[in-house]
């Protein structure tokens, strides 16, 4: 249940509504919005008596929410959320292209790649400082040393930076350097981490878990919004199936379905989605055509020598092709 308040509702009226909800045995959760103020009722298993609330002063209407997720639902927030990072808008009419190497290698190389992807048309930079690796003996990222390189990228190129956060401890250090905190597929249901990130005032890019249902993914996002962080970007990166011709099975269907159910922007990661560099551009193009709000792509000035994910990392000219496809599809829609 969502209780929509009149725009001129007073603080006292708002408090009274919250008190009433508490007396009914539920939890009120204020949902600030640009066009209206609302209070979301959580903690209810059965039906809520809307009539009781509807007659309180300041209440405009009561909207039942049929999904388990509330704050991420379009029922509660009909308009698209646009996440703004400097001049970049994620969730608006122009799909973003976020590109960079899988992991920060050296500062010099990272800067060179950043310049190259910027020249190719990317408007955000991605690179991993902390890498969650299946193999404990494999390269785990440069860690805090990598953050220094990312800070330089931001200073020199002006590109906003996305990087993965793997534990609560490193959040603080990343907040200084990174514009969007990425939660990786293996941590999508690391609820302890999600609770921490709900407290943060930086956008979070939440990748879909390898075998997460759409509901589980949206519920993971709900953890962030329920914690107070409504700057959430979803990112499909392929799911695990029986198929072996690609690294993962990109679930292109999820793009239009998410857009119907949720107001949050949804990106696609074609690099992990298909896992072979020769096919990344075709899949990025398909993702734009399916209506995604942008792509997150592994790109490198010299893909073959990439420390990690070399197979799925594209070169800079291919990235320029991805940007061109995005632009042409935008023109197409304009006609």
Residues 55-114 that bind its own copies (CB under 8 A): 68
Task: Quote the least distance from Cβ 331 to its own copies, whole Å.
Answer: 8
Element (H, E) at 12: helix 11-23
Please identify, using beta-carbon distances, which residue of 153 and 261 lies nearer to its own copies: 261
How far is residue 29's CA from residue 42's CA, in Å, rounded to a whole number? 7
- Asked if 239 and 208 count as a contact pair (C-beta separation under 8 A), the reply is yes
Q: What is the CA radius of gyration of the chain?
A: 21
Residues facing 297 on adjacent strands: 99
Any contact of residue 252 with its own copies (CB under 8 A)?
yes
Please identify, using beta-carbon distances, which residue of 106 and 253 lies nearer to its own copies: 253
Q: Which stretch binds its own copies (CB under 8 A): 74-82, 171-179, 216-224, 296-304?
A: 216-224
Task: Quote the least distance from Cβ 138 to its own copies, whole Å.
Answer: 9
Please identify, using beta-carbon distances, which residue of 105 and 251 lies nearer to its own copies: 251
Backbone φ and ψ for 208, nearest 5 degrees, come out as -75, 140
Write out the binding residues for its own copies, residues 133-152 only, by CB under 8 A.
133-137
Please identify, using beta-carbon distances, which residue of 10 and 253 lies nearer to its own copies: 253
Please identify, using beta-carbon distances, which residue of 54 and 191 lies nearer to its own copies: 191
How far is residue 231's CA from residue 233's CA, in Å, rounded to a whole number? 7
- Asked if 308 and 273 count as a contact pair (C-beta separation under 8 A), the reply is no
The binder of its own copies chosen from 222, 269, 298, 309 (CB under 8 A): 222
Any contact of residue 251 with its own copies (CB under 8 A)?
yes
User: Treating both helix axes as pointing N-terminal to C-terminal, what angle do 277-290 and 254-261 enclose, rounded to 10 degrees?
Assistant: 40
The binder of its own copies chosen from 106, 243, 304, 305 (CB under 8 A): 243
Please identify, using beta-carbon distances, which residue of 203 and 273 lies nearer to its own copies: 273
Chain position carrying tokens 């953890």? 223
Q: How many other β-carbons are positioned within 10 Å of the β-carbon of residue 261?
A: 18
How far is residue 145's CA from residue 249's CA, in Å, rounded to a whole number? 34
Write out the binding residues for its own copies, residues 303-332 only, by CB under 8 A.
325, 328-329, 331-332
How far is residue 154's CA from residue 179's CA, in Å, rounded to a whole number? 9
Cα 236 from chain centroid (whole Å): 9
For the window 266-285, what string marks contact with its own copies as x by the rule CB under 8 A? -------xx-x-xx--xx-x
Any contact of residue 167 with its own copies (CB under 8 A)?
yes
Any contact of residue 10 with its own copies (CB under 8 A)?
no
């Amino acid at each position: 249940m969502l209780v929509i308040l009149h725009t001129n509702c007073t603080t006292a009226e708002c408090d009274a509504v919250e008190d009433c909800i508490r007396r009914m045995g539920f939890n009120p959760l204020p949902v600030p919005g640009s066009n209206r103020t609302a209070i979301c009722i959580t903690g209810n298993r059965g039906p809520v008596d809307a009539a009781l609330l509807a007659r309180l002063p300041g209440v405009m209407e009561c909207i039942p929410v049929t999904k388990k997720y509330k704050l991420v639902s379009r029922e509660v927030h009909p308009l698209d959320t646009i996440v703004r990072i400097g001049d970049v808008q994620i969730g608006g009419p122009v799909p973003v292209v976020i590109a960079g190497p899988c992991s920060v290698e050296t500062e010099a190389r990272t800067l060179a790649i950043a310049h190259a992807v910027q020249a190719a048309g990317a408007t955000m930079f991605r690179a991993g400082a902390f890498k969650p690796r299946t193999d404990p003996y494999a390269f785990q990222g440069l860690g805090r040393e990598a953050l220094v390189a990312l800070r330089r990228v931001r200073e020199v190129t002006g590109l906003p930076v996305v990087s993965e956060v793997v534990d609560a401890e490193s959040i603080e250090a990343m907040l200084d350097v990174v514009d969007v905190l990425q939660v990786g597929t293996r941590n999508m249901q690391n609820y302890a981490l999600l609770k921490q990130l709900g407290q943060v005032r930086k956008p979070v890019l939440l990748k879909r878990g390898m075998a997460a249902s759409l509901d589980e993914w949206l519920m993971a996002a709900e953890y962030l919004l329920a914690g107070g962080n409504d700057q959430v970007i979803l990112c499909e990166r392929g799911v695990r199936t029986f198929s072996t011709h690609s690294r993962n099975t990109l679930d292109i269907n999820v793009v239009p379905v998410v857009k119907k159910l949720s107001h949050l922007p949804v990106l696609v990661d074609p690099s992990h989605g298909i896992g072979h560099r020769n096919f990344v551009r075709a899949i990025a193009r398909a993702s734009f055509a399916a209506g995604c709000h942008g792509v997150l792509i592994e790109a490198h000035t010299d893909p073959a020598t990439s420390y990690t994910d070399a197979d799925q990392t594209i070169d800079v000219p291919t990235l320029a092709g991805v940007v061109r496809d995005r632009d042409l599809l935008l023109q197409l829609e304009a006609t």
